[in-house]
Copies of this chain bind each other. A is one copy, B any other.
Amino acid sequence: MPHVQNGWYLAAWSDEVGRTLTQRWIAGNPVCLYRLGDGTPVALEDRCPHRKFPLSLGRLDGDVLECNYHGYRFDGTGACVGVAEQQDKPRAATRRFRLLERDGIVWIWPGDPDRADESQLPDTSWLTDPNWTHVRGVLPLKARHLLLVENLLDLSHETFLHPSTIGNAAVAATPIEVTTAGPKVYFQRRMTGVQAPPFYEKSMGLTGPVDRWQDGEFHPPGIFVLNIRLAATGTEEPEGFHMKVLYGMTPATENECHDFYALARDYATDDEQLTTFQHEQQLSVMAEDVQALEVQEVMYATERRRVVESSIRSDLAALRGRRVLQKMLAAEAAEKTTAGPVPATR
């Protein structure tokens, strides 16, 4: 399955990008990430237009990136500015991908830079808001992008896959409400008078019945935000505990993803022990997901029949998300633009 090119993906956490050249595959494209001297992040297609050697194995000479195989040199726009030691100045370029850095995230728009639309990005100001604290990272995932999207858009799986941390019967038992706004898909699950699963019990000290809200937002093709609110049943909502989880669901290749996560809370923000606990729990939850999705990938990859899968009400958000991605892909295919990198020589 090809990947949507005209859309935002989380390329890296800001502190992952510096003066060291780094390769990361994004939506089928090899990307070389680095910063110019003034701090501007740059993403170039990681194939030298000369002989496809990865630019990320080259070196920075000020703001000029020099390929380490034959010395082709590129400025921050991807344009070749000469060849080291040689007179030739070929009219060549490697594609520069559109980036946007905000709130500690480097976003990438692999498709047509002119269509990059900042308004499609979700609010991430809470990542830099002093009233919030968060942990973050990225895990490799050997499964196709769609499986990760559907995993997050149907949290009923928490009941079965994550019973020792964030899941209990109440999750699957509580129906979701799904709404859409353009390509965006929203769902909300309002659990009332339920028990808090172990993670929340330990994180918030809630032992009696609680109200637990999940508000999910899918910003296609690659971003998911989950708003979590818990409070003792009967409490006015504003006094509850708030958490937010951002997932950067970034396809790498056809069957591999980068699974970026940031887990934030608005209470006990100075409690480092709690931060450590929550990070460990988050990684434990994600390890269960990674293991499940990697097995699921095998079952999809080896299926030889065309199967109409059985679906139920709790799949509604995931099915909407799947359809949105299919539409975006079909539209890009129809444009007959490659929607990929520009010709190596221009």
Contact = CB atoms under 8 A, between A and B. Distances in A.
A50 interface: yes
Contacts of A154: 70
A173 to B, nearest CB: 4
Interface in A149-171: 150, 154, 156-157, 159-161, 169, 171
Contact of A51 (B71, B87, B296, B345): B296
Interface stretch (A132-140, A221-229, A303-311): A303-311
Given A54-B299, A85-B172, A295-B54, A310 B90 contact: yes
A70 B311 contact: no
A302 interface: yes
A312 B173 contact: no
A309 B51 contact: yes
A274 interface: no
A240 B313 CA distance: 69
A341 interface: yes
A150 B52 CA distance: 13
Interface in A100-152: 150
Contact of A69 (B53, B66, B292, B343): B292
Given A53-B299, A295-B54, A307 B344 contact: yes
Contacts of A90: 310-312
Copies in the complex: 3
Contact of A50 (B30, B83, B309): B309
Contact of A313 (B71, B86, B169): B86
A67 interface: yes
Given A309-B49, A310-B80, A311-B90, A68 B296 contact: no
Interface in A206-250: none
Given A299-B30, A300-B52, A312-B83, A70 B160 contact: yes
Interface residues of A, number: 64
Nearest to A341: B305
B30 A70 contact: no
Contacts of A80: 310
A68 B161 contact: yes
A57 interface: yes
A64 interface: no
Interface string A10-54: 000000000000000000101000000000000000110111111
A345 B69 contact: no
Given A53-B296, A66-B160, A69-B160, 16 more contacts: A28-B304, A49-B310, A50-B315, A53-B292, A53-B295, A68-B161, A69-B157, A69-B292, A69-B296, A70-B154, A70-B314, A72-B310, A86-B172, A86-B314, A90-B310, A308-B344
Interface of A: 28, 30, 46-47, 49-54, 57, 66-72, 80, 83-88, 90-92, 150, 154, 156-157, 159-161, 169, 171-173, 253, 292, 295-296, 299-300, 302-305, 307-315, 338, 340-341, 343-345
23 contacts: A30-B299, A47-B299, A50-B311, A51-B150, A51-B296, A51-B309, A68-B292, A69-B160, A69-B161, A70-B154, A70-B314, A71-B159, A71-B172, A80-B310, A83-B172, A85-B159, A85-B169, A86-B156, A86-B172, A86-B312, A91-B310, A305-B340, A305-B341
